[in-house]
Amino acid sequence: MTITIIGIGLIGGSIAISLKENGFAARIIGVDQSQENLDKAVRRRLIDEDMDLGSAINESDLIIISIPVNAMLQVLPKVLDLVENQVVIDVGSTKAELMESVKNHPKRKQYIGTHPMAGTEHSGPEAAIPNLFNNKTTVICDAEQSKNDAVELVEKMYNSLEMRVLYMDAKSHDMHTAYISHISHISSFALALTVLEKEKDEKTILDLASSGFSSTVRLAKSSANMWVPVFQQNRDNVLDVLDEHINSLSKFRTLLIKKDFDKIHELIEQSNDIKRILNS
């Protein structure tokens, strides 16, 4: 099968590596607004060739759009305008606004909104890696609004990446990802800002940074171009969980001020419960 990937960055590039390696794709065409990215992608053999959008779609059976979610709002309808019988998926981190934007498109049934829950803090074609998706979860949203054979094809593709497939409506997806993914990023961005503000001596950060610190601020290396549109499209859910997070931190603050260390002990033991859930 011939697959077009629009946006050859961390996610698009990593999908390209795995689908070529496992034989799901015989040929991969890259489309990207940056010719530099496309050249890199060809040199890294992430894609077989690059093409303009129209020709790429004409030659393909499946089109995967992996670009920031604000650009997605423009590109997805344009792609759907151009397809005949091809299946189109996106792999963005927010779903409700996008699904709403194409709900009346005549080719809606050939499109499937998906979200493979995998990534790293790096971006660009140089960040693409093998096995990024193995044993991770992907979400397929509002599957009942797409043609059955299209959903089957996409399931098959994600199975070939060794991903678990979950089904969810777009609104639930956006709520859960705010809780589990988006707030982690804001927490990490804010922690980096905090440490940069308090610790003016950069050498001390570097000297003392333990693996715990590195792990907690890792996501603060993530791309603003990717994340700002996510926060924009998922603003209400993100605000809701951010309020709760500030509230949790304020509990620690109040107890520290009151020197109520027994209660802090209780809070930490409550938070340890995440261990039971993540290890189960």
Compute the least distance from the CB of residue 162 to its own copies, in Å: 15
Note whether 197 and 152 are within 8 A (CB).
Answer: no
Q: Smallest distance from the beta carbon of 233 to its own copies, in angstroms? A: 10
Strands (E), the chain: 2-6, 27-31, 49-50, 62-65, 87-90, 111-116, 137-141, 164-168
Residue 47: CB minimum distance to its own copies, A: 25
* Closer of 56 and 226 to its own copies (Cβ): 226
- The DSSP symbol for 198 reads H
- Distance in Å, CB of 256 to its own copies, minimum: 5
Q: What whole-number distance in Å separates Cα of residue 16 and Cα of residue 228?
A: 25
Q: Residues 154, 87: contact at Cβ < 8 Å? A: yes
| Least gap, CB of 8 to its own copies (angstroms) | 21
In the bound state with its own copies, the residue whose beta carbon lies nearer, of 35 and 279, is 279
What does residue 44 show for φ and ψ, rounded to 5 degrees? Answer: -80, 0
Closer CB to its own copies, 85 or 224, in the complex:
224
Nearer to its own copies, 52 or 269 (CB): 269
Nearest alpha carbon to residue 244 among 197, 196, 186: 186
CA-nearest of 118, 124, 122, 121 to 44 is 124
- Least distance (Å) from its own copies to the CB of residue 28? 25
Q: What is the spatial distance between Cα 72 and Cα 41, in angstroms, rounded to a whole number?
A: 20
Q: Is the Cβ of residue 38 or residue 175 nearer to its own copies in the bound state?
A: 175
Of residues 104 and 211, the one with the C-beta less far from its own copies: 211
Q: Which is nearer to its own copies, 53 or 190 (CB)?
A: 190
Whichever of 151 and 242 has its CB closer to its own copies, that residue is 242
199, amino acid identity:
E
Rounded CA-CA distance 110/36 in Å is 31
Please enumerate in sequence order all residues whose Cβ is within 8 A of that of 10, keeping only pairs 6 or more positions apart, or say none. Answer: 119, 120, 122, 123, 124, 127, 128, 132
DSSP SS3 for 183: helix
Gap between the Cα atoms of 93 and 68, Å rounded: 9
CA distances from residue 13 to 9, 137, 228 in whole angstroms, order as listed: 5, 18, 21
**Least spacing, CB of residue 147 vs its own copies, in Å:** 25
Shortest Cβ 44–its own copies spacing (Å): 21
